[in-house]
Amino acid sequence: MKKITSLLMLLLTTLIFAQTTNYNVGDIVDDFTVTDIFGVEHNLYEYADAGKHIYLDFFFDTCGPCQTWQPTFSEFYDKYGCNGGDLVMISINNGTDSDEEVLQYGETYGGPFNLPPAVSADGGAGGVDSNFGVSAYPTFCLIGPDRTLLNRDIWPLTDITTFEATFPNGLEPEVMECTILGVTDTQNVEFAVVPSISNGQNISLVMENQVAKTIQVFDLIGREVYSLNVNANNMAFSLNVSSGTYLVKVTTETSSATKKIIIK
């Protein structure tokens, strides 16, 4: 009984004191650039300067409370457009887990939702964790477009409404499916982008029994980096952009769909 009581007290202490200890609310946080488990770079100030509110989830793969609440954070990410809208969500490992371990963690505990970008020790997560002074896990915090910490410890959680209750006055982010700016496909437009991972040159787009009218390419912040008016079902184009993940949106006369591509 004494051992069980000690374990319960340890867990309770972990939950109560989960926070970012190196920053107080209102502090300007340091910039960071990390690379997620799929090779995509994320820069904090770039998101903030684009007017985004950024939610960070600090975790490690064997953390029981992290496993419990990962589906809720994934649902939050999914509901507000998979980083295609006003909000950005990123999961930051404590620096002890590899890309492979973080990938397995997401697949096991992420629930039936699209998963937020996750950064492992391989992608620089440990440095961010140390900079924020995370004392326990999970710790969820919110950073505003002015680069200041708005909430250092979003806790305790009940469901997705706990995150929504942290929206500052005046922030009313659009509820949007991931098909808006599109990280998943709609069912009305079928096309392939070949290759999906490339240096950006000679990318082929192949429609299935439909005619594309426009092609647009967006970065993950939502900025259009390429557009072309077309009237064909097969075409090729090239992108002169920096490495990262981009969204190729194809529009026909009646509908549209979007697919991810990665530029190395």
CATH of the domain at 233: 2.60.40.1930
* Confidence band, pLDDT 50/70/90 cuts, at residue 114: confident
* Domain identity same for 70 and 156: yes
In a domain, 175, yes or no: no
* Domain identity same for 68 and 136: yes
- 195 preceded by a cis bond (ω within 30 of 0): yes
Tell me what percent of the residues of the chain surpass a pLDDT of 90. Answer: 57
What is the structure's pLDDT at 161?
95
Give CB contacts under 8 A, 24+ apart, made by 164-170.
164/76, 166/142, 167/53, 168/53, 168/144
Digit-coded pLDDT (tens) for 198-229: 999 999 999 888 899 999 898 766 678 999 99
* Domain identity same for 146 and 36: yes
Digit-coded pLDDT (tens) for 3-33: 343 344 334 434 445 589 999 999 999 999 9
In a domain, 226, yes or no: yes
Domain end among 124, 145, 164: 164
| Alpha-carbon span 89 to 53, nearest angstrom | 9
What is the structure's pLDDT at 28?
98
| Alpha-carbon span 109 to 42, nearest angstrom | 23
Domain count, the chain: 2
In a domain, 158, yes or no: yes
In a domain, 38, yes or no: yes
Range of the domain at 14: 2-164
Tell me what percent of the residues of the chain surpass a pLDDT of 70. Answer: 88
For residue 132, the tally of other CB atoms under 10 A from its CB is 23
* Domain identity same for 150 and 205: no
* Domain identity same for 49 and 135: yes
pTM to 2 decimal places: 0.68
Which of 78, 79, 59 has the alpha carbon at shortest distance from 69? 59
